[in-house]
Structures are given as C-alpha cells and as structure tokens.
Structure 1
Amino acid sequence: MLQLIKDDPWLAPYETDLNTRFKYFQDELKRIEKQYGSLLNYANRHQELGFHHDSAKKGWWYKEWAPAAEKLYLKGDFNDWNNESHPLKKGENDIWEIFIPDSEGLKNLSKVKVRVQASNGINDRMPAYTRYAIQDPQSHDFTACIWQSSKKFKWTDKKFNFKEIEAPIIYECHPGMAQEKEGVGTFKEFEENVLPRIKALGYNCIQMMAIKEHPYYGSFGYHVSNFFAPSSRFGTPEDLKSLVNAAHNMGIAVIMDMVHSHAVKNFAEGLNDFDGSGHQYFHEDGRGYHTGWDSKLFNYGKEEVSRFLLSNIRFWLEEFHFDGYRFDGVTSMLYHHHGEGMAFDHYDKYFKEGVDWDAIRYLQLANTLIHQIKPEALSIAEDMSGMPGNCRPVEEGGIGFDYRLGMGIPDEWIKLLKHKSDEEWKMMEMWNVLSNRRHGEKTVAYAESHDQAMVGDKTVAFWLMDKEMYWHMNKSDDNIIIDRGIALHKMIRLITSTVGGEAYLNFIGNEFGHPEWIDFPREGNGWSYKYARRQWSLVDNHELKYEYLNEFDKALVHLLNEKQVLSAQPAQLLNVDEHNHVLIFERAGLIFVFNFHPTNSVPDYEFWIPKKGTFRYLLNSDAPQYGGFDRLNPETEHVSFEKQGGDFLKIYCVNRTALVLGK
C-alpha cells in the first residue's frame, strides 16, 4: 500500500486510482531510463536543439523540431535576411538542421529568424529554443539573438548552501516594477537597489516573476513566448546571472515563477502552430485553448513536448543557478476543466472527474528531475483544488512538490475586510482557516501576494485604510482609520506567518503597506507606468508611518528566523475568547497572544500555558517603533503560576495588539 493511503485512510477507496497513477509514472520513467539512459539525459534537449557552436568544425549548428513543416530556412543579419540561401535539412525524428561556418558571419548576438513553409503558409518564426530575444523599440517586434555565455562573467556563489536555510521566508518580486521610476526596471537596478532592502529585512528567498520572455509586459510574465530566454526588457542573460549570484552571496535563495501551465497564443513570437499542424506543442482544437487565459495548452503526453518542458526546468537550474520554482497554474494543469467553476468538495473530484493523467505524470517527472539536479531545491505548487498528495514524495504516491501555496488564506482576509465589521470577526473561524491543511504537506502561508494587489482587487493596507493613506500617513497626524489599519496590518501578517504554514511569503512593497494597486501599462490607462512601480521613497521618509510597518516586518522576519518558528510543529491552540476577540497559541516554544477587539483591553487576562516559566515580550505590535501606543512596559516579566492543576499566565491583554512571549 502506498504511504499516502496509509497516512490518510479516507484515500482507501481510491487505492486503485492512486496505484494506476503511480504505475503510469513508473512505466514512463523506466522507458525514459531504458531509452535515454537517465531522466537527466532525457531533459537535455536544449543542449541538442537550437544554436550551438562547434569549435572543432568552427561553425554553428542550428536544429529544430518541426514534424509537419515542409521547408525551413535560416535567415538573419549574417546573410542580409535572405529568405532561401540557408535551407535546413530534415533528418531523423523530424529534426531539421543546418551547419553554418564561422566564415559566413554568424556569431554571438547575430539576429536570426527561421522561415517556416508549412500548410499555414510561409512565416518567419522565432526558434523554439531561443535563449535571447530582443524587441524593436519602434515596431515592438521580437527577433531572436544567438547567445553564448560570456567568459567575462564568473560565478562566485559556491559557498551558498540552500540547506542552511531552515524554512523559506519568501519575498515575491517583479524586476520591472521594482524601481520607483515610471518605467521598466532592470536586473542590474534590482541587484543594486532592491536586493540590499530584502537582505536588510531578513528574507532568505526571493521569488522572481516575469523572468521568461513575454511579448506583453502587462501579462505579468504569465504569457510566455520564449521559454529559454530571460526577458531582454530587463537586461541581458548575464545581468540575470549577476543578480542571482549577488543574492546567493547575501545568503538569499532565488526561485522562479515557472509557467508550464500554458503559453502565449501569439503566432509571431511564440510556439503556436510553429510547424503548421495546429497541434505541434499543444493539444488540438478546443482542448488546446484556455478560454479564461486566452492562451495555448501544452500536450504533456507528447514526448517532444515533455522533453522541451523538462529541459526547460534543467536549463534554468544549471545555467542560471536558480534554486527552484513556484509552478503557476497547477490546478489548470491537473484537470481538463482547469478547476473553473468546480467545487472540490469530494475526493471523487481529485481522482474520478476530469483528471489529466498526462499532466500529473509530467509534474511527477518534473519534481523528480528538480531534486535529482539540486536535492535541496524548492518546488512550490499554486493549486487551489487541494489535490491530496500534491506535496508528498512521488514514491509515496504523491506528485512531488515540496510546498503548496495557502491560497485560501488571503481570500479569507479579503472577505473579512470587505464584508464584515471588526465586531463580527470570529476567532475560531479565523483559526480554522489558518490552521486547516493536509497532514504532512507543507504550506506557504501569505496574507497577500501579487494576486491581491492587481487592479480589480486591493492590498490589505488599501482595504484597511484606502484614501486616508493619501492624507494621514504623516507621523504627526492622528487618524483613527490609519491607526486601525496599521494595527490590523501588523496583526494579520504575524498570525498568518505563524499559524498558516511552514513557509511565509510577502509581495514586494506590501511589507510597508504600499498604497494603491498594481496596474501595468495598457490601452485603458494610456500606457502609463504610474502604478507599475514601487514607491520606496514612502518607506524611506522618516516622517511617514510606512516606516512603522517596515520595521515591524523586519522584526517579524527576524523572529521567524531566530526562533525557527516555521520549521517547528504546527501551532497549538491554547485559548479562544470570542467575547474579547482573543486568540492565544503556542509554536516553537513561544506564546502568541492576539487581541483583535476594537476596544476591549483586558487587565489581568489569565490563560493556560503548556509549560511553566518566566516570560518576556519578544515582539509587541503596540511598541512605539511599530506605530503602536506603547501601553505595555517592554521590561515586564510574566511569571507563570499554578491554578487548578495547570500552569497559567496573567497579562494585560491590549486591544488590537499582538504579543509574542518567550521564556
């Protein structure tokens, strides 16, 4: 019996399904190892296809998989964009190839395209394994560039050891919007200006969005066109390497938003109908199109597609030293219905109804490959369905992810802030949402990510304070809406991080309550960058209250790191008081006290604790340096006492305040 079923008896009725799923993976892995020698060899297509310099023959090989194409020609600045002077020959396994001697002028940074003649006409296309693509500033058209790694760049990150990171505390970020200027930020600017901020806050991992090339900047990087190319709008591939190298030298891991759930439908820039068959990389007809995302869907059951995507995983880990991936849109991959309009209220929904076995097998192979290449790497699933075993090892019957995103947590915070007054908040409901997760499957907790900050939604800070942030964030300005907002902003982040999971995530700028939403340049806003940036001047201004939130976030992250809170056993509930809106729990030997009540501060508040001792405040959200009202003496010691056969503490339980007590 699979370990997954042993640990969850409710899965027993689905033992046949899970065994079949596991065997489907095992059979494919055995076939791969027999035919290719190893999974690693199978995932080396990027070393075979695309452009590669042959130093022995003194020239370049270009190879492309295009089974249904009739003719292929290479054109570029090296041959004055001649349409027919350099035809490719079709060889085994539908691989087209051509060799171009160095003497013909093809070199690093040469601009090229491949001219494809097929049933859909004659079209100039981007080679599928393009490693660098540049956009014309006037026409906005993309052109492929040959890219060779520069010998000038040297990795200096050998001493970085991801294993030393106890638990991921993740700073989610987008390089383009990370600067204050109204424009597109670069990898270099991020390295110089933003990495030091992240280091100062104490985060040990960054999650980078929009790394792969995408035609439309406003897609936030989720409509990928060139899967092996870092987006040139942020700089060169070497600039990205420099950023990762710098992060590693600061002790910060770097993971990438991995978009393998779909691809841009754009014909000129992407893979769509490359060989004229209509279904080369993607499923045929409607199954190959995601109506909600207006994008193309991969056929994970096709060998060359599997090799393309797995090679993509290997490429970024090895070439750019990434430390893992946050897989986007996993729910869409797992089910033919993509999770749209589906309530996952019964185990049948995970095993019997519309499950894509090819996609599950692909994800199992992907996670196996990731940990073969880099055992300590992170693999995070964005899955809202709650698929059992998503974050359990493949050999136990799982899919192999290390963590899943706790997507229900931010949704619940938005519901509370949007639909209920403070007096209506229920402590037990809050606790259940934060603590409810599958046993043995790790969760990344977060109060808000980029999703909650986009146009059409609001950040937690904006839900709390809205337009008052424009007028009352000066430290000398008293305002009850701002006071409430700052107090609850701190409490929400502290309770989310300490109860919600085994890792924690924050989106860039939200740590200091960045005002307003994110709105990328588009026709509807006059192609403005006003809301596609981060206003660091707000938090750097010592006269503004944003500094309070930033300092609290720094203290929160320090606590999580120093006390190893996230790697400890799940939080143990000690006290629920619906009348006073008080929640008290223990984790990592610390006592966490939350009083969410708008007005009730309770003197001599008694509660049971697991072990006796003398306690002091390790973190107090009411402290003046965090924008609090300084109602507690930071030097106070609380000595436990016996009562009714147990150990108790007595404290002043201050309203809208979170306290962390340690021995």
Structure 2
Amino acid sequence: MTARKPSRKAPRSKSAAAAEATTAEAVGVDTAQAPTATPVPAAAPAPAPASVEAETAAPAATKAAAPAKRSRPRRTDAVPPLPRQAGDGSARPAAALDPADRGRLLAGDHHDPHAVLGARPVPGGVLVRALRPFARSVTVLADGAQAELHDDGDGFFSGVLPVKEVPAYRLRVAYDDNTIEVDDPYRFLPALGELDLHLIGEGRHEELWRALGSEPMVHQGVAGTRFTVWAPNARGVRVTGDFTYWDGTGTPMRSLGSSGVWELFLPGIGEGALYKFDICRPDGSHTVRADPMARRTEVPPATASIVTAAHHEWRDQDWMAHRGDRPVHEAPFSVYEVHLASWRPGLTYRQLAEQLPSYVKDLGFTHVELMPVSEHPFGGSWGYQVTGFYAPTSRMGTPDDFRFLVDALHRAGIGVIMDWVPAHFPRDDWALAEFDGRPLYEHADPQRAAHPDWGTLEFDYGRTEVRNFLVANATYWCEEFHIDGLRVDAVASMLYLDYSREDGQWSPNEFGGRENLDAVAFLQEMNATVYRRNPGVVTIAEESTAWDGVTRPTDSGGLGFGLKWNMGWMHDSLVYMSKEPVHRKYHHNEMTFSMVYAYSENYVLPISHDEVVHGKQALVAKMPGDWWQQRANHRAYLGFMWAHPGKQLLFMGQEFAQGAEWSEGHGPDWWLLDPTYDASGDHRGVRTLVGDLNAVYGAVPALWQRDTVPEGFSWVDGGAAEDNVFAFLRYDADGSPLLAVSHFSPVVRHDYRLGVPETGTEGWVEVLNTDAERYGGSGVTNEEPLKAEAVPAHGRPASISLTLPPLATVWFRPA
C-alpha cells in the first residue's frame, strides 16, 4: 500500500464512494441525495470536560444534537422551534415495526439499525422511522414542508410521507422542555469504504487510525463524526456519550459484514465530544468501553474517549528531511531518558517545550527517550500499563500540545524516542480486556493470555487484526507525532512461551520449541513496516536474553531492530563498580566480557530508570567509599561508558549524581544543583562532565563511527586486573585513534606505560579527564603532550608513559 503523507485534515476512506454506491439499494436511500464524504476543515479544538458528567463543557455542535433526558432538563432556549408553514400535516401511519426488530433495537443487539430506522421508499410514499427516547414528538422537515410522525411508543416514531423519492430531510424533535432540529443519522450511507474493510480483514491496514475510532468529517454534505469500532463478537454496539447523556439507546451502530467493524455517522457531533461504546456481549449483557483507537482521552481517573483532530502546524521540516542522512549505528547517539510527568512535576507539554529542549541541548545529548506517553490509568505504572495506545496521556495536555513538544525538540536538534509497550495491557474492565465479551486483543488460551509478572494480559500476536492494531500503532506515532524512534519494552517476554512460567504452565510451539512464533512474526512485520514507511526512524529492543539476530534484518531471518539494549554490559559493569577497589581485581572480567559479544548486535549501553528504583539505589549510591570516592567512581564509570563500543543512555538525575532513588512523585532532586546547597560544586561538576563527555563524543568519530564492527576497537591492556586498569583504542573510518584509559583504584599511578600505535609521533594529548577539578576531581592531569617512545609495550612498537589519576577515566588523542 502506498504510504500517504500525514495531513492535518481527516481524510476520507478511499473506497467510501464505492461503498455508497453498492450500499444505497440495501439501505433504501436515494443516491441522488447522497454527495460523497469529504474531510472536515480544521477547526479550533474545544477544551475537554473534566469528566463524563460535565456535559456543560461539550462544544456547541455537540450539544445541538443531544436529546433531553427526564433526569437532565435541557435549556428551553437551546434551539428555537421553527414556525409552521403551508402544507403542514401528519404523515400517514406506517406498518407496525416487526416486534423482533423493535425488541433488538431497545435491547441494543441489532446488527443493522439502518435497515429499520431512517427513510426508504415504500408503496405510496417514503417511510421515515426514528428512535428518539424521551421525545414528545418528531417532525420531518423537507423541501419547505413538514410532517409529524406518529408516536409508536418506547421512543419510536414513524410515518409515510406522500413523496416519490427520499428527500433531503431533517428531524425536529420536541421534548417536554426543549425542541431541537437535527439531521437523522440513519439517512446516511456508510462512511467507511470497502477497501478499508478489506485491509482490516487482511490485517494490512497500515493507517488503521484513519479507518477506526472517531473521525470528524463532512459526509454527504453534513459535518459530523464517524464512529467505527472492531467488535466481531458483539451482538450489537451503540455509541454513547455526553451528547446522549450516556444513554446509547437512540444511537445503535451497524455491522459492516464479516469485518467485525461497526459504524455510525453522527451529524452535528464535533471535536471535544466525550464518548464510549456500549457493547452487547454474546450472552446479552452489556459493557461500556473506551475506544481502543481513541486519539484523545479524558484525564485519568476519568476514562471517556474524546473526539479530536490534529491542527498543529509543524516547523521541523529540516529535521525530518535530514534525520535519515546517516545510519544510526554509524552516528553519534547519546540518549537522555525522561519521565515527562516528573521531570519538572506539574508542567504541561507546552511548558516542557520551553525548558526540556534547552536543558538537553546544553548537555549535548543527541536524543531524548520518553518513558511511555500513551494513555495509562495508573501513574505509578510509569506508563507501562497502557489503555490508550493511540492517545498521548492527557495529564499534560492535548495531542497537539504533545506535537508542540516534539516539534520544539526537533527544532533544537534533538531526536525523540518513545517507549512503546506492545508486550501486554492491563485488565481494566472499561478498556481492552475481553473487549466484546470474549478474548479479543488477548489470546484465547488463558495460559497464553495471562502475563505472570505484571498481572496483565498479553496480546494475541497470531490474530491478524490484533497484529494490525499494533503495527499500525507503531507507524502512527512516527507519522502523526514525528517520533524518531521506538524503544520496544519487554521484548523477551514476548519471544518466549515459557517466559516466567513453570513446567505445565505453557505449551510448546508447533515445532516443539519455546519460541513464540506469532510474536516473532509480529516484531518482524512491525520493524519492516516502520522502516519502510519512515526513513530515519530507529527501533530499539529491550531484550535481555541471547536471542540470535535481534538487530539482524528481517530478510536475513532477524527481528529487524536497529539497536538493542545491552543488558549484559549494564549488569556486569554495575556489579564490578559496586565492589570495593581492593576486591575489583577478582571481578575484572565483568568489565571485559562485553567485548566477547560486542559485535553480535548493534548495542545501546543503558543506565535506565530500571536501575535506579526499587531498592537498586541511584547510580552514585551504588558506588563504594566515601562521598568523594562515590562521585569519582561515578565520573570514571561514565567516562568508561562513553568510550565503550555502543550508544549511550542515561536516566534523568544521574547526570548530576542524584543520590536518592527516582520517584515518579517528585522527580529529580533539582535542589542539589542550587549553589547555596552545592557550594563545592559536587553535583554541578558531574553535570559539567556529562556535557563535556557528549561534546567530545560528538566531535570524535572514533567514539561512534565504527561501534558495530571489530575494526573500531582494540585492547591495549585488558588484563591489568591488579591495577584495576582498562586501556583500549577506538578508531574511526580513517583509522584515527582515541586512547581511553579507565583506572578504578583510589591511588595515583605515575609513569604508567601503555603501548600505542606509531600514530601520534607529535604526542598524545589529554582531551578529557574525569578527575579534573572542574568536575569535582583532585586535578591530577597530564598537561603536556605525551611523546610516543620507541619502547615496545603490549605488543605495540611504541608506548607512552602517563600519570593515572585516582578513580578516573582519561581520553587521549594524537596531537
């Protein structure tokens, strides 16, 4: 399918016209009165009500279509009654509605309300039937005349108009305290085309968000909103919202055949309207659900979906045009991981846009990684238990507000990676769990559906529509919000059928293995689709096992990710750093083992949020010794990390050596940077170091250009366990080297000799030293260029003699 460029307007499904032509006869509407659907022009979004009860905040267009409910008096001056005109009268009585249809409509389990409601030719005229609960009367208005329908009870009104063809008509609905004039939703053809339905059935609708959910649009010349939802097991589905006072009796949807999709176009409903779907389960009971495809939601704990459209004017054209100029694994890539809600607690997306880009730019990071921004009901889950996969969390603003933040980061030259969570979803009874009364998004096998670690449900990756829901979601964030990368959470839990399960709690695949072949196929399809549609985007796997080929292309049998978190390096290096220096020699291989497999995948070295919570302590607090030694270890470790092959990721707060664990309740301890508290510069010095690490890193291709090939790295001395020293060379594509030396003992070592290439006969210059006084160190440096002498060492023809500062990493380059 050819990719379409994102538009601020709500596009009409390509095959809607075909659907109208083929459906006209069945629905009984004169096609001459049915102009094609076109996108609704952009309009200013209305503010969302605080809850589903706050109907007074709904937009005017929405309120005009809302019927009165006895317990909810409407304003009597909302719509003035029209004057009666010549030709007034009552329609002829119609044949009684079939009792079965009547009962099913009232019970909410009718699959084709348009076949019963609305207008259609009959012998002697045109039958009009409406379902308007609590109405006192319903009058048809057409061609300057009007005819009152007969009250058939239970909210049904009907009559036969003495005309030959179905006219363009409206309904005037009178309640005890109000009269409104509305378009009849049941005179409209389907606003979703056959091509959309075919692609949904095939599981190949790459722009699924344009077909399902709520879409403001102009259909047959009338502005309104198309509602669509996939619920194949439902006996009936109704739209309910603030515009119906949360009573969906009068707004049943029609089933669009075997696709499992239900559809209804509601004229007069616009942006800002709150809604849900009232689903009749297979057993006849009802459940009211938020829209799985909702692109905007209420602020939790409220759970309604909100009709919305995009209006943001993007200004990041230069960034988007050039973000794919260089492959990410051959480019500088240092990431600042952020939990938006707690980075500066209380800030909105737009307020964050005023502060976050400049802070990250000053530190020199190339990207930010946002912990999940998809809507989630419980803030303590940090976003990893998603209920609104297509909606940025409303806690900090609207979807356009989030676009504004991404745009601001791009214009500051910073890429945006988003955590994406397709591994599981929570069991909330208003969300995805048993959505239409049976397992739908989750696997039908309870053992496969239940996630043992988090009390959540796993997606059924083998079901085409579910896989389509997730694949389209990945492309949605990239295309609608200009996201530059997706870090996919908990990949290992998806790949293995026996993940966190005991014997007897899982069943092998068709080949007798433990691999989840459906999940493998899903991840391959997701990666292939994202890379094909979005040049310059990178996908990153959080995968904690030795699964072969995570970053291998899909056409070579790999999963197709661009990068993978190196969980082994993170675990091993932190074990080493947690030891007292006197004991580190017994754990020397914890720091060197990573080079055994460094080129098996394209790696990111992550010090993420997971490593600074739940009793694991903040990074600086993991270090042994007194406060000076802890900070020195912290700085030396960062220097080692930035020089090691692989990209870098650092969680917020660790850039200034925050000593406390992170809490989503209050975020980083920014007060540590206050000069009145940090008089000695302990914390500000670490932050200065991080900025300098990124500055040198970005300017020296040897540190990133050949991260994924062995030619970019060479040990000088990887076996100096007694000295707690690690020395290695990094090379760029032209062979220019950088020498990195990490010394994890709290002593100064003078005249320490290391072998070097003959390159650098003019001397080796210290370009970074984590023990510098400006970082809070002791100031032991190598101020003069170090001459390479013809003294063989470490298998090399030349060597230099240097001074190793205590607990420090030093970088040298040829003069």
TM-score, length of structure 1 as denominator length: 0.84
CA distance in 1, matches of 2:791, 2:730: 22
Question: The residue matched to 1:172 in structure 2 has which SS?
Answer: strand
Deviation by residue 1:199-219 (Cα, 9 ceiling, x = unmatched):
101111111112000000000
Matched, 1:225 2:387: yes
Matched residue, 2:324: 163
Deviation by residue 1:271-301 (Cα, 9 ceiling, x = unmatched):
1111001344444312101021111100111
Name the aligned partner's letter for residue 272 of structure 2: L
Question: The residue matched to 2:628 in structure 1 has which SS?
Answer: helix
Do the aligned residues in 2 keep the contact of 1:604 with 1:652 (CA within 8 Å)?
A: yes
Percent identical pairs in the alignment equals 24
Displacement of 1:427: 6.8
Larger Rg: 2
Residues 31-430 of structure 1 aligned to structure 2 (within 5 Å): 42-57=205-220, 58=222, 59-92=224-257, 93-102=259-268, 106-119=269-282, 121-135=285-299, 140-150=301-311, 153-160=312-319, 161-163=322-324, 166-179=331-344, 183-268=345-430, 270-338=431-499, 353-418=513-578, 422-426=582-586, 428-430=588-590
Residues 438-453 of structure 1 aligned to structure 2 (within 5 Å): 439=599, 441-446=601-606, 448-453=607-612
Do the aligned residues in 1 keep the contact of 2:203 with 2:468 (CA within 8 Å)?
A: no
Name the aligned partner's letter for residue 366 of structure 1: M
Name the aligned partner's letter for residue 203 of structure 1: F
Displacement of 1:591: 0.7
CA distance in 2, matches of 1:495, 1:39: 49
Question: The residue matched to 1:505 in structure 2 has which SS?
Answer: strand
Name the aligned partner's letter for residue 159 of structure 1: D
Deviation by residue 1:402-427 (Cα, 9 ceiling, x = unmatched):
11001122222443344555433447
Do the aligned residues in 1 keep the contact of 2:790 with 2:799 (CA within 8 Å)?
A: yes
Structure 2: gaps spanning 5 or more residues: 1-194, 732-736
Structure 1: gaps spanning 5 or more residues: 1-31, 343-347, 466-479, 521-528
Q: Which stretch shows the higher mean deviation, 89-98 or 574-583?
A: 574-583
Name the aligned partner's letter for residue 395 of structure 1: D
CA distance in 2, matches of 1:303, 1:420: 54
Deviation by residue 1:29-63 (Cα, 9 ceiling, x = unmatched):
xxx9xx85999963222111111133242222111
Alignment CA distance shift 1:201-1:291 (3 Å): same
**Aligned pair partner of 2:739 in 588, 591, 604:** 591
Alignment CA distance shift 1:242-1:39 (3 Å): farther
Do the aligned residues in 2 keep the contact of 1:256 with 1:322 (CA within 8 Å)?
A: yes
Matched residue, 1:29: none
Matched residue, 1:577: 720
Matched residue, 1:436: 596
**Aligned pair partner of 1:503 in 634, 647, 661:** 647
Q: Which stretch shows the higher mean deviation, 546-555 or 563-572?
A: 563-572
Q: Which stretch shows the higher mean deviation, 436-445 or 242-251?
A: 436-445
Deviation by residue 1:98-123 (Cα, 9 ceiling, x = unmatched):
11112xxx110101111111146212
CA distance in 2, matches of 1:125, 1:391: 38
Quote the RMSD (CA, aligned, Å).
2.5
Matched, 1:632 2:777: no
**Aligned pair partner of 1:641 in 783, 789, 801:** 789
Do the aligned residues in 1 keep the contact of 2:256 with 2:263 (CA within 8 Å)?
A: yes
Deviation by residue 1:107-140 (Cα, 9 ceiling, x = unmatched):
101011111111462121101111111136xxx2
Bigger fraction of residues in helix? 1
Question: The residue matched to 2:406 in structure 1 has which SS?
Answer: helix
CA distance in 2, matches of 1:660, 1:37: 55
Question: The residue matched to 1:389 in structure 2 has which SS?
Answer: coil
Do the aligned residues in 2 keep the contact of 1:39 with 1:369 (CA within 8 Å)?
A: no
TM-score, length of structure 2 as denominator length: 0.69
Name the aligned partner's letter for residue 469 of structure 2: F
Alignment CA distance shift 1:143-1:278 (3 Å): same
Name the aligned partner's letter for residue 260 of structure 2: D
Matched residue, 1:516: 660
Do the aligned residues in 1 keep the contact of 2:743 with 2:805 (CA within 8 Å)?
A: yes
Matched, 1:461 2:598: no
Question: The residue matched to 2:684 in structure 1 has which SS?
Answer: helix
Name the aligned partner's letter for residue 637 of structure 2: I
Name the aligned partner's letter for residue 574 of structure 1: V
Displacement of 1:606: 1.1
Do the aligned residues in 1 keep the contact of 2:782 with 2:803 (CA within 8 Å)?
A: no
Matched residue, 1:21: none
Deviation by residue 1:422-465 (Cα, 9 ceiling, x = unmatched):
4334474143233232535210013x210011122112212227
Question: The residue matched to 1:622 in structure 2 has which SS?
Answer: coil
Name the aligned partner's letter for residue 315 of structure 2: T
Alignment CA distance shift 1:506-1:38 (3 Å): farther
Alignment CA distance shift 1:71-1:519 (3 Å): same
Question: The residue matched to 2:697 in structure 1 has which SS?
Answer: helix
Do the aligned residues in 2 keep the contact of 1:176 with 1:234 (CA within 8 Å)?
A: yes
Do the aligned residues in 2 keep the contact of 1:502 with 1:567 (CA within 8 Å)?
A: no
Alignment CA distance shift 1:203-1:640 (3 Å): same
Alignment CA distance shift 1:425-1:449 (3 Å): farther
Displacement of 1:547: 0.5
Displacement of 1:489: 0.3
Alignment CA distance shift 1:422-1:379 (3 Å): farther
Matched, 1:602 2:749: yes
Deviation by residue 1:178-205 (Cα, 9 ceiling, x = unmatched):
01xxx54432232212221111011111
Do the aligned residues in 2 keep the contact of 1:331 with 1:339 (CA within 8 Å)?
A: no
Alignment CA distance shift 1:193-1:259 (3 Å): same
